[in-house]
Amino acid sequence: MLISHTPNPIELITQVATISTGKSAKKGLIYRLADMGHMTPFEHVSFTFKITDITRKTSHQLVRYRHASIVQESMRYVDFSDRQARIPEIGKASQKLKEYAQEIYSATANKDEARNALPIGTLTQMYFTCNLAELIHIAKQRLCMSAEREIRNVVKKMCSEVAQKFPELEPLFQPKCVYIGRCNEPQVKCGIMPYKELNLKQKVYKLLK
């Protein structure tokens, strides 16, 4: 859930971008900036989300983003005795795992040790703040069909909530293939862009002569 944001992101991006050139902004400036990779103006716009009902597995992927501020539910202080977990339903083994983990957790007074028994599918929540440049970067990676379904859905919801508030920003939230004009994930066959390998060994730009 989007709970806080920069009030007028388009206006702010335009102000920041035009100060370096001294020229007035033209229509579609934010899209040209994104196309050219000039992302610094986007860093002045921020969004804060409250993300709930995600697994610890997905939260581990989100906390890897360096240009984000995150506060997550602590397993040391919060009681997880009755917390649900998303575990693949594989016969009776799934239920046994849930019961076993909760039995260990409930029986151990030291929560530092008890949390080791909880499965990575345990549900958690967090506050996640990032600037627009980072959100675009996250979308490039996690809207790709190669991303795991849960985090893809989380990022899709984050971008959708921003786009509902500011429709002009919606075109910026695309998987990376749209930006580079090709798919570089050989295992993905989603049909958005054809796969093409980039040959970095071809000497287009001769650095060493």
* Rounded distance between C-alpha atoms, residue 130 and residue 24, angstroms: 28
How many domains are contained in the chain?
Answer: 2
CATH number at residue 14: 3.30.1360.170
Most distant CA pair in the chain, distance: 69
Same structural domain for residues 8 and 51? Answer: yes
| Structural domain includes residue 41 | yes
| Residue partners of 87: CB distance under 8 A and separation at least 6 | 94, 97, 98, 119, 121
Same structural domain for residues 9 and 64? Answer: yes
Q: Measuring CA to CA, which residue among 190, 121, 128 is closest to residue 159?
A: 128
Tokens representing 25 are 């902004």
Same structural domain for residues 67 and 129? Answer: yes
| Structural domain includes residue 198 | no
Domain that holds residue 6: 2-71+123-175
pLDDT band, residue 181 (cuts 50/70/90): very high
Q: Are 4 and 47 in contact (CB under 8 A)?
A: yes
Helix, strand, coil percent content, the chain, rounded in steps of 5: 45, 15, 40
Average pLDDT, the chain: 89
- Read off the pLDDT of each residue in 8-21 and give the average, rounded to a whole number: 92
Same structural domain for residues 42 and 88? Answer: no
| Structural domain includes residue 206 | no
Same structural domain for residues 47 and 30? Answer: yes
pTM of the predicted model as reported, rounded to 2 decimal places? 0.89
Task: For 83-130, write each residue's pLDDT tens digit.
Answer: 888 877 765 666 777 777 778 777 877 777 878 878 888 899 999 999
Q: Are 16 and 85 in contact (CB under 8 A)?
A: no
Same structural domain for residues 65 and 45? Answer: yes
